[in-house]
Amino acid sequence: MARQPARSVGGRRRASHSMESVLGEAVALLDEAGAPALTFRALAQRLGGGVASIYWYVANKDELLDLATDHVMGGVLADIEKLPPGEDAIDDRRAMALTLFDAVVRRPWLGAYFMRNTDVQSNSLRIYEMLGRQTLRLDLSARQRFHAVSAVIGVVVGSAVDMGQEPPQEILDGAVGRDEFLGRFAQAWRELAPDEFPFVHEIVDEFDGHDDVDQFRSALDLTLAGLRLQAGL
């Protein structure tokens, strides 16, 4: 696997890829300009080859996305495994979830594809296992354990999807910063009728300029507090 034949010297070069390079360039494209930037033609150009060649490595675009996702999840899994085990199972889960979320925040496109197909995404399944293994240290039923992990994944994915939606593109160009983008929304909210939207007015200042990681950590801690209660700790 991953054999690298010598390129022919004369005439038109024939590109020679490898699973590693295909996935690597795919991830690079996704990182640089988001999901819509990953097209077979753009990817082929980066690889210096033809469009159809990519189909030798992946069956279709869905599989490409799944494999690219799993590719970066390999790194995340390594980070999670590096985490020092502590005394408290729930604190360990918290650290894992934060590591996972950190990766998703850095790569907003991950949110949509993560955990979609554990058949192909074997690293995602391993992360699922790592998250769940901590619950074995708690006094819970199997069903409660199952739900506990689903809940944490739900919080990660939910927050990620909420935050990962592309600002119409202007923020990616750098033409307008994230703060300004948030401020615009906040301003629109401030102009709503106060008697019709008392809650929106209550929290608009918190929304304006808020930190995504703070928001996620709060949601996660609520879930973990509930779990701690359930485990009788």
- Contacts to DNA by CB under 7 A: 3, 5-6, 8, 11-17, 38-42, 44, 47-53, 55-57, 60-62
The listed partner (a copy of itself, DNA, none) that binds 17, CB under 5 to 8 Å by sort, is: DNA
User: 41 or 178, CB closer to DNA?
Assistant: 41
Choose which of 23, 58, 156, 186 interacts with a copy of itself (CB under 8 A): 156
Q: Tell me if 88 contacts a copy of itself by CB under 8 A.
A: no
Q: Which stretch binds a copy of itself (CB under 8 A): 22-30, 45-53, 137-145, 170-178?
A: 137-145
Taking the C-alpha atoms of residue 47 and residue 49, their distance in angstroms, rounded to an integer, is: 5
Q: Tell me if 190 contacts a copy of itself by CB under 8 A.
A: no
Nearest approach, Cβ of residue 109 and DNA (Å)? 13
What residues have CB less than 8 Å from 221, skipping those under 6 apart?
A: 94
Q: Tell me if 35 contacts a copy of itself by CB under 8 A.
A: no
Angle separating helix axes 19-33 and 40-47, nearest 10 degrees: 120
Q: Tell me if 154 contacts a copy of itself by CB under 8 A.
A: yes
CB 38 within 8 A of CB 29: yes
Q: Tell me if 226 contacts a copy of itself by CB under 8 A.
A: yes
Would you state the structure tokens that stand for residue 122, as one six-digit string?
């074997």
Nearest approach, Cβ of residue 83 and a copy of itself (Å)? 16
CB 2 within 8 A of CB 20: yes
Taking the C-alpha atoms of residue 175 and residue 38, their distance in angstroms, rounded to an integer, is: 22
Q: Tell me if 206 contacts a copy of itself by CB under 8 A.
A: yes
Would you state the structure tokens that stand for residue 9, as one six-digit string?
């010297």
User: 8 or 150, CB closer to a copy of itself?
Assistant: 150
- CA atoms within a 13 Å half-sphere pointing along the CA-CB vector of 4: 2
AA identity, residue 174: G
- Helical H segments across the chain, by residue range: 19-33, 40-47, 61-82, 89-106, 110-113, 122-133, 142-164, 178-190, 198-207, 212-230
Choose which of 86, 202, 209, 233 interacts with a copy of itself (CB under 8 A): 202
User: 1 or 229, CB closer to DNA?
Assistant: 1
What DSSP designation does 7 have? P
Choose which of 37, 185, 195, 232 interacts with a copy of itself (CB under 8 A): 185
Q: Three-state DSSP class for 134?
A: helix
Residues that bind a copy of itself (CB under 8 A): 112, 115-116, 118-119, 125, 128-129, 132-133, 135-136, 142-151, 153-159, 161-162, 165, 185, 188-189, 196-200, 202-203, 205-207, 210, 214-216, 218-219, 221-227, 229-230
